């Protein structure tokens, strides 16, 4: 694995050059009636294709302001065009004895050299507070997000993608497929409480509300309400087990409502503080309600597995999940399979090559609104990256990504899509400012 990662930087350079030499593929037929704006044969948002950098000046303090600026250059074989992408972000942190506050803003834009109709921007604002007691903790957060299209499969950051996708998966696991011009904005509010009962037992519970709306017509927006609670038992220092209940009500634009109830049993094991293995399984009952039609009820066996392994130089993560979701703006309720893998290896202190890939299948939960085989979409992505630290505040990064999508014959446009993308840029981490 180590030798493979060491070769990734060279391979990524060759792949990037090869992508420039390829001819642009023929355009994919758009979905009838909407000019192709909601066509699923697109790919991830150009403005979120950034390397997930954690380098830069480290700062330890109770309250501080950190920020970074960046400029990237993207070539996209799907459009046969290139774009400049300026971006920036700042984080304000205030820590106290019993209360921590954090405010993060990230924004950016891309400017195409020839096709100005594809110029886009993204905005993200997150405000979170954590209250700590001797045996309890309460966390609240509010996030607003605007994206030109889905962020699934993004291997990049620019201050946005990694944390954003984690929050989306937690609150609103609906963007597991890529849309071409699915401009969307989302607001998510959640509160979570943890209480330690003894050395081995703790309880937790929470509630969240999410709103997802698409600016482009033809895509399905939603509102979701979710409540959860559970009990965790520490078996020994390295092992724990948890039982959780989650109830969700999702109101789609139109008249469809999805109600789900699920119970999950989760086991977590830590390997000498270097690796963490998490396994989860449990039943989920989903009910789709449509006026004038009988309710459709289906029982799923949800499952999840993740492995995170981190050493001084190597960072590896693998994950798989099976659950219900909103349907990525294409369906009113969906069954989703998602798998991801990523690995990075620090070489010679300043070089960090990496590999990443993923798969997602989104299928219709039922044929209540249609007949025959449920509609199904599949998406795959893979790529490589290499970065180099320049001093203590700058980072150069180079990414290559390949995406492939297809749909079954029940989809509105049964076609396939392939895309190569190369992104190179610089990120500058400004020196943090101590506030006290």
Span 207-227, pLDDT tens digits: 999 888 877 666 778 888 999
Three-state DSSP at 95 gives strand
User: Over 70: is that where the pLDDT of 388 sits?
Assistant: yes
How many angstroms separate the CA atoms of 379 and 135, rounded? 44
Q: pLDDT (tens digit, 9 = 90+) per residue, 164-182?
A: 333 333 333 344 444 445 5
Tokens of 246: 């989650």
Q: What is the pLDDT of residue 397?
A: 92
Instruction: Read off the DSSP letter of residue 370.
Output: S
The number of domains in the chain is 1
User: Over 70: is that where the pLDDT of 386 sits?
Assistant: yes
Question: Which of 41, 46, 50, 75 lies closest to 180 in space, CA to CA?
Answer: 41
Tokens of 50: 């950034």
User: Over 80: is that where the pLDDT of 247 sits?
Assistant: yes
Share the mean pLDDT of the chain: 77
Question: Which of 140, 138, 210, 137 lies closest to 170 in space, CA to CA?
Answer: 210
Predicted structure pTM score: 0.76
Name the helix (H) or strand (E) containing 8.
helix 2-21
Q: Are 344 and 314 in contact (CB under 8 A)?
A: yes
- β-pairing, 99-112 vs 120-132, is antiparallel
User: What Rg value do the Cα atoms of the chain yield, rounded?
Assistant: 22
State the burial class of residue 155 (Cβ atoms within 10 Å of its Cβ: 0-12, 13-18, 19+). buried
Of the listed ranges 124-128, 275-279, 317-321, 347-351, the one predicted with least confidence: 347-351
Q: pLDDT (tens digit, 9 = 90+) per residue, 47-76?
A: 222 223 333 334 445 789 999 999 999 888
Residues spanned by the domain of 305: 2-434
Tokens of 248: 């969700």
CB atoms within 10 A of CB 166: 10
Which CATH number do you get for residue 352? 2.40.160
Q: pLDDT (tens digit, 9 = 90+) per residue, 136-160?
A: 999 999 999 887 765 544 433 333 3
Three-state DSSP at 367 gives coil
Three-state DSSP at 173 gives coil
Angle at 385 between CA 380 and CA 386, to 5 degrees: 175
Sequence-ordered alpha helix ranges (H) in 117-205? 161-171
Angstrom CA distances, 361 to 321, 324, 337, 416, stand at: 11, 11, 5, 14
pLDDT band at 410 (very low <50, low <70, confident <90, very high): low
């Amino acid at each position: 694995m180590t030798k493979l990662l060491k070769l990734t930087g060279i391979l990524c350079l060759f792949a990037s050059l090869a992508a420039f030499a390829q001819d642009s593929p023929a355009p994919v037929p758009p979905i009838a009636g909407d000019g192709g704006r909601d066509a699923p044969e697109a790919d991830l948002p150009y403005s979120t294709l950034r390397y997930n950098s954690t380098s830069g000046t480290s700062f330890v303090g109770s309250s501080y302001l950190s920020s970074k600026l960046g400029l990237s250059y993207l070539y996209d074989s799907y459009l046969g065009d290139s774009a400049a992408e300026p971006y920036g972000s700042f984080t304000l942190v205030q820590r106290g004895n019993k209360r921590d506050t954090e405010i993060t803003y990230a924004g950016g834009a891309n400017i195409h050299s020839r096709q100005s109709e594809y110029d886009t921007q993204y905005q993200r604002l997150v405000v979170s507070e954590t209250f700590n007691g001797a045996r309890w903790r309460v966390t609240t957060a509010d996030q607003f997000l605007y994206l030109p299209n889905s962020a699934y499969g993004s291997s990049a950051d620019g201050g946005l993608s990694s944390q954003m996708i984690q929050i989306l998966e937690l609150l609103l696991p609906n963007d597991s497929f890529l849309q071409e011009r699915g401009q969307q904005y989302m607001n998510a509010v959640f509160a979570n409480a943890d209480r330690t009962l003894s050395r081995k037992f703790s309880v937790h519970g929470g509630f969240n509300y999410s709103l997802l709306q698409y600016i482009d017509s033809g895509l399905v927006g939603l509102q979701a309400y979710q409540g959860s609670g559970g009990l965790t038992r520490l078996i020994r220092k390295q092992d724990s087990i948890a039982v959780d209940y989650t109830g969700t009500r999702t109101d789609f634009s139109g008249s469809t409502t999805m109600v789900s109830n699920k119970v999950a049993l989760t086991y977590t094991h830590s390997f000498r503080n270097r690796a963490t293995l998490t396994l989860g399984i449990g039943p989920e009952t989903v009910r789709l309600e449509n006026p004038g039609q009988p309710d459709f009820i289906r029982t799923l066996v949800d499952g999840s597995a993740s492995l995170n392994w981190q050493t001084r130089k190597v960072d590896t993560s693998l994950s798989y999940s099976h659950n219900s979701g909103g349907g990525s703006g294409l369906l009113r309720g969906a069954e989703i399979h998602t798998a991801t893998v990523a690995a990075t290896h620090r070489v010679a202190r300043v070089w960090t090559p990496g590999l990443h890939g993923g798969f997602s299948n989104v299928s219709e939960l039922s044929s209540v609104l249609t007949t025959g085989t449920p509609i199904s979409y599949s998406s795959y992505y893979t790529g490589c990256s290499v970065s180099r630290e320049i001093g203590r505040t700058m980072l150069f990064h180079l990414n290559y990504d390949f995406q492939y999508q297809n749909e079954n014959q029940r989809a509105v446009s049964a076609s396939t899509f392939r895309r190569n993308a190369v992104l190179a840029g610089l990120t500058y981490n400004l020196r943090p400012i101590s506030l006290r």
